[in-house]
Structure 1
Amino acid sequence: MNGELFPRERTEIAPGAVLVPDWLAPERQRELLAACRAWARPPAGLRTVHTPGGGTMTARQVCLGLHWYPYGYARTAVDGDGAPVKPMPDWLAQLGREAVACAYGPGDTGPAAEAAYDIALINFYGGDSRMGMHRDSDEKSGAPVVSLSLGDSCVFRFGTTASRGRPYTDVELRSGDLFVFGGPARLAYHGVPKVMPGTGPAWLGLAGRLNLTLRVSGLDLPGAPPG
């Protein structure tokens, strides 16, 4: 947002959880949006996720590398069209490593500096979409989760590892922002209680919000890797 009295700065929201505002330059945001639009096409494209209890997630999702479903991973879109999942591009995995290095500093990344980011979960939020408080706990790796935002701003609620309730911190995530959580915050509950329609940059050409979540699976699933 232009014309702010104080520029937004890198902020540690909790130990291991770091916000880096405006990390993605406009051209990189355009490139990511174009890639997301290609990934969203069938086969194994954008889908609506249904929970075991009969609920429906209001954010729609497409996966790369491995397909996430409640609550596990597969090599095919088992709750979609059954097609093999699209591969995780090397350049996107490298972007994940760069994000961790930026958030934590080049001397404080530990094993994450060489972590093989092999999964991307891409969620599309319309104006009335939400995401309840949850933990990213279906991976075996403890490498940090990398979250990239495109389009409309949202309220990102970041809690503790103990419960879905308070205490939590509400953070505004805007287009181009980076949020990384690892270490003691790796299994913290988090969610998106609100999206703010019409707040994305006009030059991006996106109505709604895209969130790219990059993870290291640590899984050894049967079958050949996709691609």
Structure 2
Amino acid sequence: MDTELFPRERAEIAPGAVHLPDWLDTTAQRELLAACRDWARPPAGLRTVRTPGGGTMTARQVCLGLHWYPYAYASTVVDGDGAPVKPFPAWLGELGRRAVTDALGPQTAGRAAYDIALINFYDGDARMGMHRDADEKSEAPVVSLSLGDTCVFRFGNTETRTRPYTDVELRSGDLFVFGGPSRLAYHGVPRVFPGTAPAGLGLTGRLNVTLRVGGFSDAP
């Protein structure tokens, strides 16, 4: 009942890992959802990700800026239709920097030039196993935005996929940022709650928009 009566508050889940509930208002959620629908269309659209072991991820994905596949980046959809990856829009980079400023302070945002987005779509049965975002060369914080159905987001430690971890409820419009000592923490989505998306949003399922700084231009 308390969560219905009182606004949810900012929470530091671990050093450098912050949850900001309701960061995107209704209008911003609708605008981001409309953009995601455009990005999901082919070519270089929403795809099923296949793992090196021959399995498939239950969450489907589309990328911007650079195409991620296990466990590298490419300029084309090398594990899909082979089309050039869609460009990363400047406004999305500005959104990422604003998110880091609000979550971790302006000194952390610095000059981080967000240039990669991974957009994952979860239906009611989709999950994401514990993993680390470790394929980038930059140590800039990861920005995660949620749209649609509520999920359990499991945020762990940097050493193991198992405990200790903290389960956080992410709802539509929530922001989660992790950087600094938590940049390489294991995390995953063990559960999605179907039918919990805001009624006016017009989305069945969950979208997670994850923004990253590749840092590849600085590579030797």
Structure-1-length-normalised TM-score: 0.94
Contact kept in structure 2, 1:151 and 1:174, CA below 8 Å = yes
Contact kept in structure 2, 1:147 and 1:211, CA below 8 Å = yes
The answer to whether 1:79 aligns with 2:79 is yes
Question: What is the match of residue 6 of structure 1?
Answer: 6
Q: Return the alpha-carbon distance in structure 2 between the equivalents of residues 101 and 17 of structure 1.
A: 13
Contact kept in structure 2, 1:127 and 1:208, CA below 8 Å = yes
CA displacement 1:3-59 (0-9 Å, x = unmatched): 723321010000000000000010010000000000000000000000000110000
Q: Return the alpha-carbon distance in structure 2 between the equivalents of residues 97 and 171 of structure 1.
A: 23
Q: Return the alpha-carbon distance in structure 2 between the equivalents of residues 197 and 94 of structure 1.
A: 31
User: Percent same amino acid among aligned pairs?
Assistant: 79
Question: What is the match of residue 30 of structure 1?
Answer: 30
The answer to whether 1:190 aligns with 2:168 is no
Question: What is the match of residue 55 of structure 1?
Answer: 55
> Any unmatched runs of 5+ in structure 2?
none
Question: What is the match of residue 215 of structure 2?
Answer: 218
CA displacement 1:141-167 (0-9 Å, x = unmatched): 000000000000000000000100000
> Any unmatched runs of 5+ in structure 1?
222-227
Question: What is the match of residue 69 of structure 1?
Answer: 69
Structure-2-length-normalised TM-score: 0.97
Contact kept in structure 2, 1:67 and 1:74, CA below 8 Å = yes
The answer to whether 1:93 aligns with 2:90 is no
Q: Cα RMSD (Å) of the superposition?
A: 1.6
Superposition deviation, residue 105 in structure 1: 2.3
Which consecutive segments of 4 or more residues in structure 1 shift more than 4 A?
none
Q: Return the alpha-carbon distance in structure 2 between the equivalents of residues 2 and 37 of structure 1.
A: 34
**Secondary structure of 1:203's partner?**
coil
Distance change in 2, residues 1:3/1:104 (3 Å):
closer
| Structure 1 counterpart of 2:135, one-letter code | D
Question: What is the match of residue 175 of structure 1?
Answer: 172
Question: What is the match of residue 201 of structure 2?
Answer: 204
Q: Return the alpha-carbon distance in structure 2 between the equivalents of residues 95 and 76 of structure 1.
A: 25
Q: Return the alpha-carbon distance in structure 1 between the equivalents of residues 105 and 210 of structure 2.
A: 20
Contact kept in structure 2, 1:151 and 1:210, CA below 8 Å = yes
Q: Return the alpha-carbon distance in structure 1 between the equivalents of residues 2 and 213 of structure 2.
A: 35
CA displacement 1:167-194 (0-9 Å, x = unmatched): 0000000000000000000000000000
Superposition deviation, residue 61 in structure 1: 0.1
